[in-house]
Amino acid sequence: MKIYDGVIDWGIKRARDSKMIALGFHSVIDGLVKVDPQKFGNLDLAIPRELSALPDSIKCIDDFWKGLIFSFVNGSALQLMIDSKEVYEWIMKTFGTGTLRLGGTSANMAKGLVPFPFEKILVYVYPLEKEIANLFPNSKNLFVVGKHGLDHPINAYDGEGIEAIHWIFEFSQGQSMTIKGKIYTCPRSNRFIASWNPVNSKLEVRDPFKSYVIEHAQDISHFLVSGFHIMQEIYPDGETVDDRIDKLLEFVMALREKNSRMKFHLEFASIRRDGVRKAVEEKLFSRFDSLGLNEVELSWVARDIGYDEKDILNLDVERISQIISKIMRGNLSRVHFHALGFYLLALKEGYNLESQKKALAFASLAAAQRAMDGEINLERFKYMLDIPEKYDYKEWEEDGIHFILFPTKVVPSPKITVGLGDTISSLGFVLG
Ligand code: 8BR
């Protein structure tokens, strides 16, 4: 099967022909902390073994430790939002900011797209302060909306400071930690993410970005929306997630009115809070054209609509396609599911199948190369072509939906895995 033939040149040309691509609404600073668990002493806490034993956000210092211990002992990644200013201050005092890095789904997508010859990548950054502006790559096709229109973040920032930070606590396989007098060893290198982001947790679309994109809607071909995982169910001022999602939807509808050809993609990400996740599923799925998610995220969607999440986590393709069929209502005509080793793309009528497949192949090469080297380097894509795929290519129709099971390239010892999903979904969507 020649599914990867000629896709590198094809992808480059396709990027060159693009218009403006907009990314919102979650860009943030990540603070990378390499954990030395020996320094923690003896932690006197019960070990949460199941996700259900965890708080759904961090409200006190014990909640922070529970999340960290869970990740450490089980060797599984976890992200929790911090809801308490006291805990935020305590983490800052205890660990500092760590090494600063650009993070957040929108900024991550921007970083993954700017190395290709796309004409304009426009990213929403709030608050746009000097510290985060300086972390963006120095690319000519990267823009924010500043006071004087489109500009690179470095020329457009307003003020200084770190008002939001997502701490990434990294541990390595073999490190040990003492809990209730017993020594536990970390089974697999992993990370625990504790996020403090009250300034942007309403995902409010602010000026000057808002007026700019409304005014220039005709220039934008694709809009990728993400960041729901930082939202709250109820905000301190009484607003609810439903209120906020309605506002966001108003903005999307206003853009659709200005440019009916603009395509909208929703990147799901790990939305831990039930109320937020359900609001996104119920209010937004049917209003977007495209949706991107991984197996953990789809397992939550499955559970929310009354199915067993285990089938999805076990990568049962029949069940995965069944759940996808169930959620494809209204405008939602494209779902890109990604797992380790394959993508499952579901399309309703009206798509060019050839370019959709090539876009998946290009995304797979990009993810593999980024996993291998840590950052995108187009020159090295060709080496990924030699990696054999482990799944068989398959294409079928069911319930009026066209399914493509696309085998991907998997790098044996990746340098990084964080942010790969964003690269996969964004390239698949904008090139397809
Ligand atoms: P998330 O960021 O949504 O978790 O997506 C991660 C994706 O990265 C996986 O679905 C898989 O397709 C891809 N990936 C991972 Br994880 N490890 C990889 C590797 N070693 N080589 C190529 N792709 C990888």
Per-residue pLDDT of 52-86, as tens digits, reads: 889 989 999 999 999 999 999 988 888 999 999 99
Cβ–Cβ under 8 Å, residues 338 and 292: yes
Cβ–Cβ under 8 Å, residues 81 and 58: yes
Question: Is 336 strand, coil or helix?
Answer: strand
Query: Residue 49 — pLDDT band, cuts 50, 70, 90?
Result: confident
Query: Residue 131 — pLDDT band, cuts 50, 70, 90?
Result: very high
Token look-up 């395509």 returns 263
Amino acid 1: pLDDT? 53
Q: Which atom of ligand 1 is nearest to the CA of 409?
A: 22
Per-residue model confidence as pLDDT tens digits over 280-321 = 999 999 999 999 999 999 999 999 999 999 999 999 999 999
Q: Which atom of ligand 1 is nearest to the CA of 418?
A: 2
Q: Which of 420, 422, 424 to mutate to test the pocket of ligand 1 (most atoms within 8 A of CB)?
A: 420
Mean pLDDT of the chain: 96
Amino acid 325: pLDDT? 98
Cα three-residue angle 373-379-381, rounded to 5 degrees: 65
Q: In angstroms, rounded to a whole number, what is the distance separating the alpha carbons of residues 351 and 358?
A: 13
Cα-to-centroid distance, 260 and ligand 1 (Å): 33
User: Using CA positions, which residue lies closest to atom 18 of ligand 1?
Assistant: 410
Say what the alpha-carbon torsion angle 182, 183, 186, 192 is, to the nearest 10 degrees: 60
Amino acid 190: pLDDT? 85
Alpha helices in 160-281 (DSSP H): 209-215, 241-258, 274-279
Domain range 2-27+103-161+199-431, CATH class: alpha beta
Amino acid 349: pLDDT? 96
Amino acid 212: pLDDT? 98
The widest CA-to-CA distance across the chain, in whole angstroms, is: 63
Record the tokens describing residue 215, joined without a space. 């005014």
Residue 24 above 90 pLDDT? yes
**The dihedral of CA 54, 60, 62, 64: what is its sign?**
positive
Per-residue model confidence as pLDDT tens digits over 355-366 = 999 999 999 999
List ligand 1's pocket residues with C-beta within 6 A.
294, 338-340, 367-368, 371, 408, 410-411, 414, 417, 420-421, 424
Cα-to-centroid distance, 207 and ligand 1 (Å): 35
Residue 399 above 80 pLDDT? yes
